[in-house]
């Protein structure tokens, strides 16, 4: 089974208007809201592809109830830990020129909440796959990182990391199946500005030499790079009208997981993941199977 972990699920409220003006009443042309959070987005893409997963993480209050019930109605299994406070609401404003985000405050987690997550992970089995998406909260200490990822290693459970957390470098020694930093996150890991594509590839190779099995760096409109011990693959983005960028990186991860589990072919999984990321960028919501495969067939 595939498990996605979202430490800070949200309700994402998308607002579209012609021109956002500061210090004025802005009236939307259209709006909608849906469950959000990076791991949840991965599960939503997998669900669009007909692939089952279980959402783990923390929800609270009336907003948390909406997130849980909405996912269940879509046929996505959840095993959220219920916490005090309300899950956050994020506002995503999209006008003809810009995307603007106003992200709500996360409810505070307690040590006992993290205990319960560790207990959930301890019940997983060899052959399961866990995708950790989004920044780890401050309460997840270095000791907790050691506890979580040594547990997964001991149980021979593959895991994926897509986070800008300062813990990323600490996690490398546990040999993640996939990591997906962007250029800025790589610069954070190495405390160094990266000025060229060659240097970018060299840094990804260094991560692979430290135990990462597959490293993908997303380059937004410039495509993505995958590096593992056998090859370097560079894919350009597809040409099309970008409607939004929210969830595109998560779509890449979801598409990669789906295709890899189907084919066991990393190259095809990478191509499918990039197709999924671009398809979501060209859509008002997360991409459908048809939208993803229309692009994938072009590669």
> Residues with catalytic annotation?
250
Q: What is the Cα–Cα distance from 19 to 26, expressed in whole angstroms?
A: 8
The dihedrals phi and psi of 14, each to the nearest 5 degrees, come to -95, 125
Token pair of 155, please?
A: 């149980």
Q: Which residues lie across from 129 on neighbouring strands? A: 2, 158
Q: Could you give the residue ranges of the DSSP H alpha helices within the chain? A: 38-48, 61-73, 111-122, 142-154, 168-171, 183-190, 197-209, 248-263, 266-281, 289-296
Residue 5 Ramachandran class (φ > 0 left, ψ -120 to 50 alpha, else beta):
beta
Two tokens, residue 276: 């999924």
**Sign of the four-CA dihedral 139, 6, 8, 183:** positive
Question: Is residue 280 within 8 Å of 220, Cβ to Cβ?
Answer: no
Integer Cα distance of 11 and 63 in angstroms: 7
């Amino acid at each position: 089974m595939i498990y996605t972990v979202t430490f800070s699920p949200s309700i994402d409220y998308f607002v579209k208007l012609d021109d956002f003006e500061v210090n004025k009443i802005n009236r939307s042309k259209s709006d909608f809201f849906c469950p959000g959070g990076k791991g949840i987005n991965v599960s939503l893409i997998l669900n669009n592809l007909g692939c089952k997963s279980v959402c783990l993480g923390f929800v609270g209050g009336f907003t948390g109830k909406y997130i849980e019930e909405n996912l269940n109605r879509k046929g996505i299994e959840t095993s959220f830990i219920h916490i005090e406070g309300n899950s956050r609401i994020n506002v995503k404003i999209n006008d003809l020129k810009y995307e603007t985000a106003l992200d709500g405050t996360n409810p505070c987690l307690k040590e006992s909440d993290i205990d319960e997550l560790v207990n959930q992970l301890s019940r997983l089995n060899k052959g399961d796959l866990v995708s950790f998406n989004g920044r780890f909260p401050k309460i997840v200490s270095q000791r907790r990182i050691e506890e979580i990822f040594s547990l997964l290693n001991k149980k021979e459970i593959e895991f994926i990391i897509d986070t800008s957390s300062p813990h990323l470098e600490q996690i490398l020694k546990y040999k993640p199946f996939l990591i997906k930093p962007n250029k800025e996150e790589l610069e954070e890991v190495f405390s160094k500005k990266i000025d060229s594509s060659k240097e970018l590839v060299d840094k990804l190779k260094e991560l692979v030499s430290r135990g990462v099995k597959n490293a993908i760096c997303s380059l937004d409109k410039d495509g993505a790079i995958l590096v593992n011990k056998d090859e370097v693959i560079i894919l350009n983005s597809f040409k099309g009208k970008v409607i939004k960028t929210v969830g595109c990186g998560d779509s890449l991860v979801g598409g990669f997981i789906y295709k890899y589990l189907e084919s066991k072919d990393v190259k095809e999984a990478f191509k499918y993941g990039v197709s999924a990321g671009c398809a979501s960028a060209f859509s008002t919501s997360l991409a459908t199977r048809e939208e993803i495969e229309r692009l994938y067939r072009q590669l």
